[in-house]
Structure formats: structure tokens, C-alpha cells
Amino acid sequence: MNLVRDNALGVYISIPFCRSKCTYCNFASGVYPASEHERYVGRLVQDLGQAGAWAKSMAVELPRRVDSVYLGGGTPSLLAPKLVTQLFAALRSQFDLAPDAEITVECAPSQIADETLEALVAAGVNRVSLGVQSFIDREAHGSGRLHSRAIVLDDIKRLRAAGIANLNVDLIAGLAGQTSASWEESLAVLIDAGTPHASVYMLEVDEDSRLGREMLSGGARYHADLVPTDDAIARMYEVAIEKLGKAGLRQYEISNFSCLGSESRHNLRYWQRRPYLGLGLDASSMLRETPQAADAAELPSVLRSTTTDDLAKYLAGEPLAETAWLSPGQQHEEAWFLGLRLNAGVEVAALKREFDPEMVAAAMEVVEQLTADGLLTSNRKSVRLTPRGRLLSNDVFQEFLGLCVSRR
């Protein structure tokens, strides 16, 4: 899938507040008092107000029409109702939200107050992503989560009763103490809950997390000694693909599964290289150079920017950490490693229309080798990861990096 031009924008807003820190988490999130929530939303409102001027100064297109919004984090459902209202009012004052815009909020089960839920619905939120991770209480508690299976199922009922039926449940394969039997039980409860979307992540232990540090030092805190092996985690992932697929939740991306038509519109933007603006802590943006700024003969450059992950800096009004312009060669590499994440794969004819055919020809040599290795498969239309390629996707993507150094 290689969609490039878009007259609509996706907006990602990071809310980096959590009630407690999960053992495996390395996100820029933490436990902060309500006064910080207020200051933070105040800054977001300012950033929203300045987004247009910033885009102009960088000579990038910032479509006013927004068709997807994603509040992630962190735990956005911890925001007080008045902050939710303030944030969405600012968003709507700066952008035109399409009437059918997908508006997602990440919520932690057991941390969605009735008043906040009311404010979210009133603000137009129509999709919720629940960070469940496991339906087995001891696994959820062991990783620092504060909910039980009963609470999650009750929250799903509450959300549906409030009119939000478009729900996602996140699960993690590889939590400490997880077994193949407990994993299958979690999948069965998920399927029974009947949400139209599920995300399954294979635990990647990061050395910046408490669990990662404990595993590296060979300790047993946070049940680090009970983390399943990589092979066991890979098997759990394969079981998820099989069971979810049979239940009508077909895999459409390495970690994402949905009923037909319930794919995450916002997340598809990332893999289809469609523009998005990221606001708040540790948020990324991808925006295209305006046609006026681009040389008529050249593919417009792409600006990727990331905001700081330091809350104090962010609150002090220094949001931007990094900006980089991607050359056509770098855009071509991205088209491969982002597009291959999707089960639909990469459409070669579309790449040939967009990029220098020599670049595409160089990539096709890599495709040939990876196909011989059993990691990619192709038909006349598209190139896709094989099931084994999905398990080794980072190695596959690595092969597409640095392809076009001479053409940058």
C-alpha cells in the first residue's frame, strides 16, 4: 500500500501521565500530580495555537482538515473532565475535524472515571484503546497493571453503554509468568469480549525499563526470571494470529488485527506515510514540504520531527527535540520498511511511479534475496512479509536501510 498524497491530517497528542509505572515500560510517562496535568494541557493548547505558524516557518503543508485524532500516552483517561473539554475545544478551534473523524483515546482499565467518560463522549471520542495486556489477573498485576479481568469486562460494558463500540484491546505476549495455556485463555476472553480490534505485541524488554534492568542483572524482581523465552513468545504470537483470524479478527499489520472495516485509521497513516502532527511529550510528526518550496522537478521532501521527552523542558516551552528532512532516497527506504508492516504489503508499481526506477530496482535485488531466504513473498502486484518474515521483521527492515546512499 503506497498512498502518498493526502488532503487531511492525523493529529497525535501525547498525555504522559500514569497512575503507576508498569515494569516493562520505557515510554516517556510518569506519575505526576494533577497540577502538572493542568500545566501540561495549557502547553498543549498553546502548541495547537502555534502549529499553523510553525508549519509555515518550516515550509510544510499542514492540512486544516483532520480525519483522525489519537490521544496516547501515558493514560489520557486520567485527565480531569475540564481538561478534556479544554483540549478538544482548542483542537477544534485550530482544525476542522471531519464529521466522521476517528477519535481514539487510550485508556487504562479501572482508570476511566464516569465524569471523564462523559467529557470524552461529549468531545466526540468514538474509539477507545484499552491497555489490558493480559486477562490473567496475576500476570496483569505482576507487570504493574492495576486492573483485573472483571474490571476490564465491566469497562468494556460501560464504554459500549456510553456509545463507544469501536474498541481495541492491547495484549502482550511474553509477560512474566505467562504460559501457553494462560495466553490462550487471554485470547479466548478477548475473542469472547467481541471487540472489533485487537493489538498483540511481543514483549521487547528494554534496558531502560525496570524489568529490563532486572533481567540484565540476572535478578528475580518483577518476576524477571519468569519471562518466557523468545521461542515461546514467538509461538504465542503465531497462536494469536491463528485464533484471532478464526474469530474474524484478521491480521492487517504485524501487531494489529481487526474485523473488516475496523482497522485503525490513525495508525494506518503511519504505515501509509500520510501526514500527521504530533503534539506533547515525545511525539513525532511527518509533514510534507509545500509544493511552492519544493523544486518542481523533485519529489517534495518530508519533514520528520520529534518533541522532547523531558517534561520540564516541555513545560518550559521547548517542545522540539529533533527535525530532519528526508531525501527521496530516505523516503523510498521508509516506503519499504513501513509498507511491509502491512499484510497488504508494498505495491511495486506505485513505488515506481513515485521514485527513481533505479532506486526501486536496487530494492528489488534485496527483495529477491529475502524471498530466497523465505522472509518475503510476492505476486505481480505486491511484496509482503511471510509469517517467518513477520517474526524477524526488524532484520528484514534493516536490509532496506542504506540502499540509496548514493542518491540522497
List Cβ neighbours of 87 (8 Å cut-off, separation of 6 or more).
13, 41, 44, 45, 79, 123
Say whether residue 21 binds ligand SF4 (CB under 6 A): yes
Please say which residue, 175 or 338, places its beta carbon nearer to ligand SF4.
175
* Closer Cβ to ligand SF4, 19 or 92, answer by number: 19
Q: Which is nearer to ligand SF4, 18 or 91 (CB)?
A: 18
Q: Which of 8, 14, 27, 233 binds ligand SF4 (CB under 6 A)?
A: 27
Residues 114-153 that bind ligand SF4 (CB under 6 A): 131
Q: In whole angstroms, give the CA distance from residue 287 to residue 305.
A: 9
Q: Residue 18 or residue 175: which is nearer to ligand SF4 going by CB?
A: 18
| Torsion angle, alpha carbons of 10, 15, 20, 25, to 10 | 50
Instruction: State the minimum distance, in angstroms, from the CB of residue 348 to ligand SF4.
Output: 37
C-alpha to C-alpha distance for 51 and 240, rounded to whole angstroms: 40
The distance of closest approach from Cβ of residue 73 to ligand SF4 in the complex, given in angstroms and rounded to an integer, is 6
The angle, 0 to 180 degrees and rounded to 10, between the axes of the packed helices 180-193 and 149-161 is 20
Q: Which residues, numbered 93-112, are part of the site for ligand SF4 (CB under 6 A)? A: 108
* Candidate segments 15-23, 115-123, 134-142, 165-173, binder of ligand SF4 by CB under 6 A: 15-23
Tell me whether residue 73 or residue 280 sits nearer to ligand SF4 (CB atom). 73
* 2, 29, 77, 195: which one binds ligand SF4 (CB under 6 A): 29
Task: Measure Cα distances from 65 to 44, 58, 215, 305 in Å.
Answer: 19, 19, 46, 20
| Among the listed residues 22, 101, 215, 370, the single contact to ligand SF4 using CB under 6 A | 22
Q: Is 76 in the site for ligand SF4 (CB under 6 A)?
A: no
| Residue 73 interacts with ligand SF4 (CB under 6 A): yes or no | yes
Separation between Cα atoms, residue 38 and residue 17, nearest integer Å:
11
Look at phi and psi of residue 222 and say left if phi exceeds 0, alpha if psi is from -120 to 50, else beta. left
Instruction: Return the beta strands (E) in 262-399 as ranges.
Output: 276-279, 284-288, 302-307, 320-326, 346-347, 376-378, 382-385
18 sits near ligand SF4 (criterion: CB under 6 A): yes
Q: Strands of 43-94 (E only): list them.
A: 65-73
DSSP of 87-146, one letter per residue?
HHHHHHHHSEEEEEEEEEEEE-TT---HHHHHHHHHTT--EEEEEEE-SSHHHHHHTT--
Q: Which is nearer to ligand SF4, 139 or 289 (CB)?
A: 139
CA separation for the pair 122, 233 (Å, rounded): 40
Starting at the edge strand found earlier in the chain, the sheet holding 376-378 runs: 346-347, 382-385, 376-378
Could you give the 3-state DSSP secondary structure of residue 346?
Answer: strand
Using rule CB under 6 A, residue 68 touches ligand SF4: no
**Min separation Cβ 187 and ligand SF4, Å:** 20
Q: Using the rule CB under 6 A, give the single segment among 38-46, 67-75, 159-167, 183-191 that binds ligand SF4.
A: 67-75
Angle 296-345-237 from CA coordinates, rounded to 5°: 140
> Smallest distance, Å, CB 234 to ligand SF4?
22
Whole-angstrom Cα distance, residue 353 to residue 332? Answer: 11
In the complex, what is the shortest distance from the CB of residue 31 to ligand SF4, in angstroms, rounded to a whole number?
9
Residue closer to ligand SF4 by CB (options 14, 285) is 14
Quick one: 14 or 331, whose CB is closer to ligand SF4?
Answer: 14
- Shortest Cβ 319–ligand SF4 spacing (Å): 19
Q: Judged by CB under 6 A, how many residues of this single chain contact ligand SF4?
A: 11
**Distance of alpha carbon 98 from the chain centroid:** 21
25 lines the binding site for ligand SF4 (CB under 6 A): yes
Stretch that binds ligand SF4, among 22-30, 32-40, 80-88, 196-204 (CB under 6 A): 22-30
Chain positions contacting ligand SF4, by CB under 6 A: 18, 21-22, 25, 27, 29, 73-75, 108, 131
